[in-house]
């Protein structure tokens, strides 16, 4: 706004309120961090995400208008060592096309894996057309980490890095290679299946995982047994593997896989999550019984919601938390399989009330059919969930839709809300 009435950078710096701009810098970083959590929360809808994104953008606008003062305060905030601070700095640098500042942002975002997401997210935040030249430069940069940033940015926008992706799949750097393999599955580069298959025997664990993940996304069933190996290990990659493998296999095999996990005490949590992924209502009575265990109750409630679509809180099917219950943060099956706060926003289901509810409503669903949010899984129902569902249901619908068509890119439910709305409007027009 100030530029429009003829103020130069030095004049802007002289008249801005540093306290206000400092608040913009802090809030932009904080709200981005809040948003990062919100995109995986069970109670956030696309409309909720749009509102958060509008708040983030308002603070970014305040920083843009502040010119050099906004930049300097964002740089000072890097002392907090958070990805949100890197996000704000990167949006300013790449949005303005200032090469010196872009180098500063790249350096800040590549110093640690902990802050790297803020760097890549910022490039996903900006409109692709406005930064495509800078992304192309990253794709051909000397440093493998910079090329990985470029591929990550392309993947968020669902833009094909083309030859740069082909080259990165076989790169010597494992971080770049892993990000490239993941991108192959996200944007559905069918031509790279032979190259991906080679990396199912990669010496790097992350590369092996993303090779199996990408093959499965591309409709190559050879990826499924490789993902099952990661599930059986019951570690940080297990749940991510579970979400794709159980959806990609046929119903009979997915049910057998869940039963196998349920038979092991160390993988019961995965079995409960898996029952919701499979979506067969035959599992609902078993899930209700699992609600008698405080350690599994909220996961079982979410699984029932994933299958039936019932909102436990809205339908008064929840209850207060058990007195004195606390998550055992030293239990490896809790700590490693799901984040510690994964269940914090989930309601505590009432097993007796759900038993009554299921007796009255089970006739609406057919055993042997896969459901998501109470609807038999089809392309149409998946799109409806992407439009109106909550974030975890939306993430599931994105997978289902991509698996129904091996050539359809994986819808990005973490992208900026208004951009998601625009994509979905184009699909339904």
Reduced to 3 DSSP states, what percent helix, strand and coil does the chain have, rounded to the nearest 5? 70, 0, 30
Q: What's the pLDDT at 4?
A: 46
CB 21 within 8 A of CB 66: yes
Q: CA–CA separation, 96 vs 4, rounded Å?
A: 16
**Distance from CA of residue 278 to its chain's centroid?**
20
Residue 237 lies in a domain: yes
Looking at the chain, the whole-number percentage of residues with pLDDT higher than 90 is 88
Does the residue 193 lie in any domain? no
Could you tell me the residue range of the domain that residue 326 belongs to? 222-377
In a domain, 257, yes or no: yes
Q: Is the pLDDT of residue 192 over 60?
A: yes
Is the residue at 129 inside a domain?
A: no
Residue 329 in domain = yes
Total structural domains in the chain? 1
Q: Is the pLDDT of residue 173 over 80?
A: yes
Residue 291 lies in a domain: yes
Q: Which residue has the higher pLDDT, 6 or 326?
A: 326
Give residue-wise pLDDT tens across range 229-259. Answer: 999 998 889 999 999 999 999 999 999 999 9
- Tell me 365's DSSP state: S
Contacts 24+ apart (CB under 8 A), 398-402: 399/243, 399/244, 399/247, 400/247, 400/372, 402/188, 402/217
Q: pLDDT tens, 331-362?
A: 555 545 566 578 888 999 999 999 999 999 99
Looking at residue 352, what is its pLDDT?
Answer: 97
Q: How confident is the model at residue 57 (pLDDT cuts 50, 70, 90)?
A: very high
pTM attached to this predicted model? 0.92
In a domain, 211, yes or no: no
pLDDT computed for residue 1 by the predictor: 41
21 assigned to some structural domain: no
């Amino acid at each position: 706004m100030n530029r429009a009435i003829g103020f130069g950078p030095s004049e802007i710096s002289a008249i801005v309120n540093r306290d206000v701009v400092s608040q913009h810098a802090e809030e932009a970083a904080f709200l981005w961090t809040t948003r990062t959590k919100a995109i995986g929360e069970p109670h956030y809808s696309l409309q909720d995400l749009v509102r958060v994104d509008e708040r983030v953008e308002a603070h970014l606008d305040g920083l843009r208008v502040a010119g050099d003062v906004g930049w300097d305060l964002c740089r000072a905030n890097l002392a907090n060592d958070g990805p949100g601070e890197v996000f704000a700095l990167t949006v300013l640098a790449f949005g303005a096309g200032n090469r010196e500042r872009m180098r500063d942002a790249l350096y800040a975002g590549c110093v640690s894996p902990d802050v790297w997401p803020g760097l890549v997210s910022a490039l996903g935040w900006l409109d692709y057309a406005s930064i495509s030249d800078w992304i192309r430069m990253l794709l051909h940069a000397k440093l493998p980490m910079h090329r990985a940033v470029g591929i990550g940015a392309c993947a968020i926008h669902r833009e094909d890095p083309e030859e740069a992706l082909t080259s990165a799949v076989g790169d010597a750097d494992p971080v770049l290679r892993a990000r490239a393999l993941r991108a192959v599955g996200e944007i559905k580069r069918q031509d790279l299946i032979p190259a991906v298959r080679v990396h199912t025997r990669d010496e790097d664990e992350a590369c092996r995982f993303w090779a199996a993940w990408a093959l499965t996304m591309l409709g190559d069933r050879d990826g499924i047994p490789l993902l099952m190996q990661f599930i059986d290990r019951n570690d940080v990659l297990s749940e991510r593997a579970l979400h794709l493998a159980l959806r990609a296999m046929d119903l009979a095999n997915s049910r057998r896989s869940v039963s196998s996990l349920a038979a092991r005490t160390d993988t019961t949590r995965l079995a409960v999550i898996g029952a919701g992924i499979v979506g067969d209502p035959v599992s609902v009575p078993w899930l209700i019984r699992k609600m008698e265990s405080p350690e599994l109750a909220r996961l079982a409630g979410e699984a029932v919601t994933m299958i039936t679509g019932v909102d436990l809180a809205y339908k008064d099917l929840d209850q207060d938390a058990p007195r004195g219950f606390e998550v055992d943060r030293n239990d490896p099956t809790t700590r490693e399989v799901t984040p510690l706060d994964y269940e914090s926003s989930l309601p505590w289901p009432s097993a007796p009330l759900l038993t009554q509810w299921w007796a009255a409503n089970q006739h609406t669903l057919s055993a042997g059919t896969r459901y998501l949010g109470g609807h038999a899984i089809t392309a149409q129902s998946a799109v409806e969930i992407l439009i109106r569902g909550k974030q975890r249901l939306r993430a599931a619908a994105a997978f289902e839709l991509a698996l129904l068509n091996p050539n359809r890119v994986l819808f990005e439910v973490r992208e900026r809300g208004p951009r998601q709305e625009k994509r979905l409007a184009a699909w339904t027009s």
